[in-house]
Structure 1
Amino acid sequence: MRITSLQQYHEAYEESVQQPEKFWAGIANQFDWIKPFTKVLDWNFDDYSVKWFEDGQMNITANALDRHLKTIPDQAAIIYEPNEPGDEAITLTYRELHARVCKFSNVLKNQGVVKGDRVCIYMPMIPELAIAVLACARIGAIHSVVFGGFSAQSIADRINDSECKVVVTTDGAVRGNKTIPMKETVDDALVTCPSVEKVIVKTRTKTPVSMIGGRDLWWEQEENEASADCPAEAMNAEDPLFILYTSGSTGKPKGVVHTCGGYMVYTAYTFANVFQYKPGEVFFCTADIGWITGHSYLVYGPLLNGAKSVLFEGIPTYPDAGRFWDIIKRHSVNIFYTAPTAIRSLMGFGDEHIEGKDLSSLRVLGSVGEPLNEEAWHWYNDKVGHGNCPIVDTWWQTETGGLMISPIAGITPLKPAFATLPLPGVQPILVDENGKEITGNGVNGNLCIKYPWPSIIRTTYGDHERCKSTYFSTYPGLYFTGDGCMRDEDGYYRITGRVDDVMNISGHRIGTAEVENAINMHTGVIESAVVGYPHDIKGQGIYAYVICEHPTINDDLTRKDILATVTRVIGPIAKPDKIQFVTGLPKTRSGKIMRRILRKVAEGDTTNLGDTSTLLDPGVVDSIISGAL
């Protein structure tokens, strides 16, 4: 399954394009199937339908856990690094993880959860989060993990969209020096969630919580009483595995659905190849399991490969900005996968936090979430890798399920700030605004994919039309990524940023409409418009233009009120970095807001605003420029 040379990469890529079904069948047959598949692929981008291995049956946990009990039962599977650096790390072997997953699978079954039911998981980064995810997969329940920083309203929206039957949470959470309520937030959400029958609560902070009789249960008590015997449910390859909500260009988050078979095959294959994982190595992905990176490359990808995966509860700057480097030494980490935001933030703290740290165990470095700019690439290469570790600057999305364009560690010649080459099975194409293919090298265009790969999005939960219109209608016959891209003279790809109304904030996609809806809920706000702008740490920051009903008496206080509203409605991750109060917005005569102009002002480029003569009131632009922050 693993590519070992550049020539082998080119051969594998050629086969994956010329004979994709033969190529992916060969990969898929390396897994354990309850019922072998006979049909590899059935697809149609026009009406959007994709099915991989559809007549096969399997269970992803049988391949991520049971398979390894024969060969590496006592090897570490998950290494839990707690928030407090002085606390003892906890290691779960494959045997121990298997037993706990089986126990919690039975806990869910005992509460009436059956195949196809949806389970919402809202937890901090503790081993039980991974256990809950795997337990759902084992019994065929569909997990919907909600990032622990989201608000009660955001949780309620996600629970109601997929009609979750059970919520799994904790009493509280710790991140750095903060204690965060979890159960309390869930309780606030459930006021408007009629589908939820049970709430299972794991103790983490010993925070006093309200436990409602008949609905709320303690994890520990239920697990103690459950059997460790739970055979894996036979799942059709196309049965849904999980729903993960992502922002779109409209205000309502959309539930991206991934299925069991194709997702298993693709995440395992890309993990093994991109990181060039070797048996016995320690892999440290810093992502939260609430995001797709945590799903694919902290839980499923590593475990499918029998890897040792580090799960970190805390933040990179607590108790100081050397925490990542201390973890790497403590657990002899070989492969380190983090976000550009974290790298740039740690750069900003100065080199004293990394100088003298023992990072000699590192062999491969990775980056995910957004392109890694050249300055950060060189710092990462020099200070963390000491020039000895290849950097895999990976491009992919929630919707793709796995890595798409990326160097293969130690094999692909690197170029700073470039995602380099597509992985086998990935067929990128650049098009202009009219959908015409831009051929050759040294060109720019909108990035699309013209052929399905096994872990491609199958639908948006409960709304297939939204999936079709979002990803397959802009350029018929193609999957549109929403990203702009450059292909250089060597055929290397470099992502140049979003071209739709979605911002990339610290590697997390947030829709402009979602933030605008939250701002507009604040009393006194008439209308708002939100754009992204360059930010030294986060890559992109959020710039909000806000029209108030009456002139603000105290701008700073109103800004704080608006920030509190956004935090309450979405969560702190969506708070605007800058709020400018304006008297009007640049609109066309048909009422469309010209965000292009607002983006230019936010970027500080007011000399190249383009044609403003079509605006309903061109004078609005001068007013906005004069008040720019």
Structure 2
Amino acid sequence: MEHHGPKLLGSSYHDPLMSFSLFQKFSVHRPEVYWSAVIKELSVVFHEAPKSVLDTSENSKNGGAWFPGAVLNIAECCLLPMESQKRTEESVAILWRNEGSDDSSINYLSLKELRNQVMLVARAIDKIFMKGDAIAIDMPMTCTAVIIYLAIVLAGCVVVSIADSFAANEIAKRMEVAKAKGIFTQDFILRGDKKIPLYSRVIKGTSCVVIVVPAHGNDVGVQLRSHDLSWKDFISSAGSLPSRHNYPPVYQSADSVTNILFSSGTTGEPKAIPWTQISPIRCAADSWAHIDIQAGDICCWPTNLGWVMGPIILYSCFLNGATLALYHGSPLGRGFGKFVQDASVTMLGTVPSLVKYWKSSKCMEELDWTKIRIFGSTGEASDIDDDLWLSSRASYRPIIECCGGTELASSYIQGSLLQPQAFATFSTPSMSTGFIIFDEQGIPYPDDQPCVGEVGLFPLYMGSTDRLLNANHKKVYFDGMPTYKGMNLRRHGDIIQRTVGNYYIVHGRVDDTMNLGGIKTSSVEIERVCNRADENVLETAAVTITSNTGGPERLVVLVVPKNQSAKCDPEFLRTKFQKAIQNYLNPLFKVSFVKVVPEFPRTASNKLLRRVLRDQLKQEYRTYSRL
């Protein structure tokens, strides 16, 4: 398989596997050289060129100043033809299909049509808002939502990303923190025959102007407040042709904020994370170097602009000259899989729990996914058997695992097509990323030694945040972290394992570690074993609780069965889990009890809320007889 990532940058090594490892290390120690070369590969055009790639003289920033003096508009970069990428005005920029229209033809927008639509919306934004205003988007990731996103940035405003699953109080919290002046939403969310109200939820969370896009047809299907606008009225404010399709981009410094995203809030209040114009460059660069997104690719990654993968896949496509494929509906059903087939998707992004559902429901059987040349996976720990099933859908194409964070605008650890890949593992730190694994005393393990510990990132991390809107950035990411070779390491919070073969496995968050009989382990490690212990187990969650009087942690395994109607005996499952854990993990680990539940609580980005399960169990089982 031809790969268009780092090997294009002139590596002279003969062994491509050794080449990648050495070049990755080179990119860490000589980031100016690496990023100078990468910029030439991407659709990044500076209105005013930077004075340098990196300025480390600013002591106020742990990660230095990237592209100081540069002026650009990153949305404009997404909309320009690029000869080097063979991207023309007629190249297809977006493909999409509506749920329920599974036998209809695929809709598409050319690059020129997309640019005209973005300029039209930007002109309308300019009539209502001021440069620098924060404007929220709370709607499914449709073609219209992508146009709105780019238009807000093109107009010199700031996108506030809000997931469309949030309740009114969560919307209000994010609008307040971001000081948003307005919000784009839909009247409803359509899921099959269901119409889920969205506008009514949004107006409970804000009093500012709401611009409402109809989920179906041309007219909004709800009564609007007097100061709100329908999409039709909003667009009419842009004026008449030809001026409405001619909008000059607002150029700003590279470190100007373009997007405010929020962490998933699994450990408390969600952090408000500002992205600058540099963050999208990091998104696109990692996708180019690791997932091999390139001109001519058709990329589909079901997600939402309220979560980090929305902007990541948007910029990864448009700055690499690829086509963005969007399914306007739920990715759970066969309709989504047929869209992947009919759109000839070449890169499909997934979440492990989504793959698990496809596999158990058999909804993707007999579909032709052979145009897919690569998969991406992120969001949670993958399952080896599920990965094998997914890869088999596309003639055993590779799956590139990605693990990072909103505050990094990327993944710090990934796979690479220039290295052998193993299911459910990572093969390398991402390009230009340095990290160490350290023990409980903060002492780093040697780079060539198999180990398990907390990861500490090198602070020089292109694209990462240097501020938070509602928290102390230094306290959150740097205070209390060990130093390494004179560097104050950056906190990420993952427990990772480096294996004998130099692969990496993420064992969940530091918060999800447990102490069983004096031995530290992780929830993910327990769950990997229990998920395979019985054929009727869909997924498990491992947590620990203590009795009212304290004492050692006791292991509890919660189970979601594949067949909800079948009777599951918790004691039978406890015995099977216990045997599996003894055989494959540690004979000293004891499963105290098992609870069968219909589903697990999750964040809107699909992360398992073990903290919620732990709190519920503490209330329910403190007096349980086994304790």
Tell me whether the two structures share a fold, i.e. TM-score over 0.5.
yes
Matches within 5 A, 1:102-501: 102-114=119-131, 116-190=132-206, 193=207, 196=208, 198-205=209-216, 208-213=221-226, 215-226=227-238, 227-248=244-265, 251-261=268-278, 263-297=279-313, 299-318=314-333, 322-350=334-362, 353-382=363-392, 384-387=393-396, 389-409=397-417, 411-439=418-446, 440-463=448-471, 465=472, 467-476=473-482, 477-500=488-511
Aligned residues: CA RMSD? 3.2
In structure 2, the residue matched to 1:34 is: 47
State the Cα deviation string for residues 444-491 of structure 1 (Å, max 9, x = none): 00012114221112221143x1x2222212314111211100001222
In structure 2, how many angstroms separate the alpha carbons of the residues matched to 1:29 and 1:112? 34
Q: Which residue of 1 aligns with 2:77?
A: 63
Q: Give the C-alpha shift of residue 28 in structure 1.
A: 2.9
In structure 2, distance between residues paired with 1:602 and 1:315 = 27
AA of the residue aligned to 1:472: F
**Cα gap change, 1:32/1:622 in structure 2, threshold over 3 Å: closer, same or farther?**
closer
CA separation in 2, counterparts of 1:501 and 1:136?
Answer: 38
| Stretches of structure 2 lacking an aligned partner (at least 5 in a row) | 8-15, 239-243, 483-487, 515-525, 532-536, 560-573, 579-587, 592-617
Change (3 A) 1:628 1:293: farther
State the distance in 1 between where 2:554 and 2:476 align: 24
Would you say 1:597 and 2:553 are equivalent positions?
yes
AA partner of residue 253 (structure 1): P
Superposed CA offset, 1:140-166 (max 9, x none): 211111111110110000000111001
Task: Give, in whole Å, the separation in 1 of the partners of 2:250 and 2:77.
Answer: 12
SS at match of 1:309: strand
For residues 311-364 of structure 1, give each alpha carbon's deviation from its aligned partner in whole angstroms, at most 9, with x where no partner exists: 11212333xxx33331122111111111101100111113xx334322221111
Aligned length: 529
CA contact (8 A) 1:441 1:489 kept: yes
Larger mean Cα displacement after TM superposition, 269-278 or 32-41: 269-278
Structure-2 separation of matches of 1:621 and 1:332: 50
SS in 2 for 1:496: strand
Match of 1:13 in 2: 24
CA distance in 1, matches of 2:539, 2:461: 29
| SS of aligned partner of 1:459 | coil
Contact 2:63-2:460 at 8 Å conserved across structures: no
Separation in 2, partners of 1:369, 1:11: 28
Q: Provide closer, same or farther for how the CA distance between residues 492 and 475 of structure 1 changes in structure 2, counting only shifts above 3 A.
A: same
Residue of structure 1 in register with 2:68 after alignment: 54
- Between the aligned partners of 1:483 and 1:110, the Cα distance in structure 2 is 45
Q: CA deviation at 1:368?
A: 1.3
Q: Aligned residue for 1:3?
A: 6
Q: 1:220 to 1:468 in 2, by over 3 A?
A: same
Work out whether residues 46 and 472 of structure 1, in 8 Å CA contact, stay in contact via their aligned partners in 2: no
2:606 is matched with none
1:14-52, CA deviations, whole angstroms, 9 ceiling, x for partnerless residues?
Answer: 321221222223323553111111133345899746421
| Secondary structure of the structure 2 residue equivalent to 1:475 | coil
Alpha carbons 1:77, 1:91 under 8 Å: kept: yes
Deviations 1:476-515 (A, max 9, x none): 4111211100001222211111112799xxxxxxxxxxxx
Provide, for residues 76-134 of structure 1, a one-character-per-residue CA deviation record: whole Å limited to 9, x for no partner.
111122122245532111111111111111111100231x2111111123211111111
For 1:290, what is the secondary structure of its paired residue?
coil
Distance 2:450 2:70 in 1: 43
Cα distance in 2 for residues equivalent to 1:306 and 1:484: 35
- How far apart, in 1, do the equivalents of 2:452 and 2:53 lie? 34
* Native 8 Å contact 1:45 1:478 kept in 2: no
Q: Is the 8 A contact 2:121 2:148 kept in 1?
A: yes
Residue 626 in structure 1 maps to residue 624 in structure 2: yes
Contact 1:420 1:494 in 2 (8 A): no
Unpaired runs of 5+ in structure 1?
504-531, 546-583, 589-593, 611-619
**Distance change in 2, residues 1:628/1:278 (3 Å):** farther
Alpha-carbon shift at residue 542 of structure 1 (Å): 9.7
Give the deviation of 1:627 after TM superposition. Answer: 6.6
Q: Which residue of 2 aligns with 1:81?
A: 97
Mapped partners of 2:175, 2:140: distance in 1: 18
Rounded to whole Å, the distance in 2 between the matches of 1:621 and 1:159 is: 33
Q: Is the 8 A contact 1:441 1:490 kept in 2?
A: no
Q: Given that residues 283 and 409 in structure 2 are in contact (C-alpha distance below 8 angstroms), is that contact kept between their aligned partners in structure 1?
A: yes
